[in-house]
């Protein structure tokens, strides 16, 4: 299973707003995605930020996000891709357009 972690302290409340928007839309779509907030993900120059994590999967940190419909849709779409069987490697051409830029980091799975 994949988890989406959203920085709650980004951009004077924008991170918290993004978290709430993603949680609400995930509930509306009946998505089986773990979504949680995290105070300060230490990528302040890239705010708002969100991360994807999963056991045995690559982890990603995305930046330059906003609490708008485009980012919410993109985060839910990429989280669904990340949750697919495999190592969580997100092919650039399959990523939502909104998440093709603004990548802060990609980390390999733990061995």
Q: Is the pLDDT of residue 111 over 80?
A: no
- Number of domains, the chain: 1
Q: pLDDT tens digits for 23-53?
A: 999 999 998 899 999 999 999 999 999 999 9
Range of the domain at 89: 2-107
pLDDT for position 12? 87
Q: Residue 49 maps to which CATH number?
A: 3.40.30.10
Q: What is the DSSP annotation of the chain?
A: -EEEEEESSGGGGHHHHHHHHHHHHHHHTT---EEEEES--S-GGG-S-EEEEETTS-EEEE-S--SSHHHHHHHHHHHHHHHSSSS----GGGS-GGGSS-EEEEEPPP-
pLDDT for position 105? 94
Q: Give 1's DSSP letter.
A: -
Please tell me the distance from the alpha carbon of residue 102 to that of residue 34, in angstroms, as a whole number: 22
Q: Is the pLDDT of residue 104 over 80?
A: yes
Beta partners for residue 61, in sequence order: 51, 105
């Amino acid at each position: 299973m994949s988890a989406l972690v959203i920085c709650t302290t980004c951009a004077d409340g924008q991170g918290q707003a993004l978290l709430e928007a993603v949680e609400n839309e995930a509930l509306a779509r009946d998505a089986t995605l773990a979504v949680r907030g995290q105070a300060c993900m230490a990528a302040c120059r890239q705010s708002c930020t969100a991360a994807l994590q999963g056991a045995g999967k690559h982890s990603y940190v995305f930046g330059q996000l906003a609490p708008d419909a485009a980012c919410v849709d993109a985060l839910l779409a990429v989280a669904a891709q990340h949750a697919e069987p495999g190592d969580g490697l997100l092919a650039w051409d399959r990523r939502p357009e909104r998440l093709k830029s603004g990548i802060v980091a990609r980390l390999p799975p733990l061995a």
